[in-house]
Structure 1
Amino acid sequence: MSKYVKQLVTRDIQRQLEGVEDAVLVSTVGMDANTTNELRGELAEKNIAMFVVKNSLARRATEGTSLATAFEGASGPVAVCYGGDDFVSLVKEVVRLDKDEEKYDKFVANGGVMDGERLDADGVKAVSKWPNRDEQISLLVGQILGPGSALSGAMLGPGKMLNSQIKKISEGDE
């Protein structure tokens, strides 16, 4: 590949990854075209993009960005997955597909980058166990509303008991 072509490919990779802060690197080596196409379709349903790139060109294209650490020590062609609702959702989907030995046996999560820090394969699997954005919001709302509902119950309990006693007295059932 000539130097000019490498520069063009590098520029294209930079455009594709513009604005991307977090990504997961996967290996798709050995997958046939039909399976890869099916995989891309499944990822696209979750708003996840994937493209295969030569690691040396990706390293050159991501130089000086938060994604640069992901390609340190990478060898051979790698597929870059990015997008989704949030990074944890992206990782959960990638790990789910990695575990699907029947359909995508050649799909393997190798690592990634989160907030500028490199993740290895075990790190990616650890992040997949975290709650995603929606789950975190529901936990937070539960924590915010919990004390209020406990206070409301504590205030309403004695009032209801007093109300029932007044009702009994007014009916003459002393």
Structure 2
Amino acid sequence: MSKYLKNLITDDLKKRLDGVSDLLVVDIAGLEANKNVELRKQFRQKGIKMLMVKSSLARRATEGTALAPAFEGAQGSATVVWGSEDVVALAKEITKYAEDKAFAPFAPKGGVMGGSKLSAEDVKKVSTWPSRGEQLSLLVGQILSPGANLVAQLLGPGAKLASQVKKKSEEEEG
């Protein structure tokens, strides 16, 4: 491959990865062509982008960025996956497809999250974390919980008193 062509590919890769802070690297070597197309289609529907690239070109394109650790020591071709709601949701999807026997050789190889390199085991650990949406719902629940408890404590005795007053008034009328 000529130096000019390598520079063109590197520039294109830089443009594609511009603004990406987290990505995962997966292994799709040996995946049947039809399964590969099906996998890419399913990823596309979920807003996940997948690109196969030479590791050396990816290393050149990400040099000096937060994505560089993902390609340290990598050789051969690498399939880069990014997108989704957040890196946890992406890791969940990757792990789900890796465990699916229909996509048998598909497996996570590593990646980068917040500038830190991830191993294949780290990707599996990250997939067990709560996603951004789950974290927000937990946070909202924790914020609203004290208020809900206070309202219940205030309404409980008030409801008892109101029912006793109503009962007394019914006795006096009857």
Give 5+ residue unaligned stretches, structure 2. Answer: none
Q: Structure 1: any 5+ residue segments left out of the alignment?
A: none
Give the deviation of 1:73 after TM superposition: 1.6
1:116 Cα deviation from its structure 2 partner: 0.4
> How far apart in 2 are the matches of 1:97 and 1:66?
26
**3-state SS of 1:103 partner:** helix
Letter aligned with residue 166 of structure 1: V
Provide the aligned C-alpha RMSD in A: 1.0
- Residue of structure 1 in register with 2:9 after alignment: 9
Runs of 4+ aligned structure 1 residues displaced above 3 Å come to none
Which residue is 1:146 aligned to?
A: 145
Specify the alignment match of 1:168 in structure 2: 167
Aligned to 2:68: 68
Specify the SS of the correspondent of 1:15: helix
Measured after TM superposition, the shift of residue 32 of structure 1 is 2.4
Code of the aligned partner of 1:46: K
1:109 to partner: Cα distance:
0.1
Q: Tell me the CA shift for residue 9 of structure 1.
A: 1.0
> When the two structures are aligned, how many residues end up with a matched partner?
172
Residues 11-50 of structure 1: pairs in structure 2 closer than 5 A: 11-50=11-50
> Residue 79 of structure 2 corresponds to which residue in structure 1?
79
The reply on whether 1:114 has 2:113 as its aligned counterpart is yes
Identity of aligned residues (%): 52
| Bigger helix share | 2
Query: What secondary structure, in the 3-state scheme, does the structure 1 residue paired with 2:102 have?
Result: coil
> How does the TM-score come out when normalised to structure 2?
0.96
